[in-house]
Amino acid sequence: LDVNPIVTENYNIVYYKCDVSKWEEVEAVQKRIVEELGHPTIITNNAGVVQGKLLLDLTPEDVKRTFDVNTLAHFWVLKAFLPEMIKQRAGHVITVASVTGLIGIAQMTDYNASKAAVISLHESLRYELDKR
């Protein structure tokens, strides 16, 4: 993903470039963030790509890319940052999914399925965390 520098005035904003679809990159950037800023108390999962193709026109690579970014990235970010939140018994996870995860639309079958998986992931995580 291309990221332009953030232009700010009187704000303390930092960003880290990372392909969230790759566990190794998420793990590396998590270590940098902790070293430079400490442990975050808020995580926002908001990555997403859309192919915009009919199911029969999707290539295996298209589907893999959609799920890598739209679904697996949520797993990797949670896996990287959640342990410290649990240890500290403090923190918030914000999940951005899509209504298409509940109500499908044409030419977005892979996207819809990936967002349904994200909704289920976070509902399941809520129950896991309730038991702690």
Instruction: Compute the Cα dihedral for 16, 75, 96, 113 and give only its sign.
Output: positive
**Active-site residue, 16 included:** no
Give whole-number Cα distances, 56 to 60, 107, 117, in Å: 10, 10, 21
Pairing of strands 42-45, 92-95: parallel
What stretches of 1-132 show up as alpha helix (H) in DSSP?
23-37, 60-67, 73-88, 109-130
Q: Catalytic residue among 15, 16, 111, 127, which?
A: 111
CB 115 within 8 A of CB 97: yes
Q: Which residues are catalytic?
A: 111
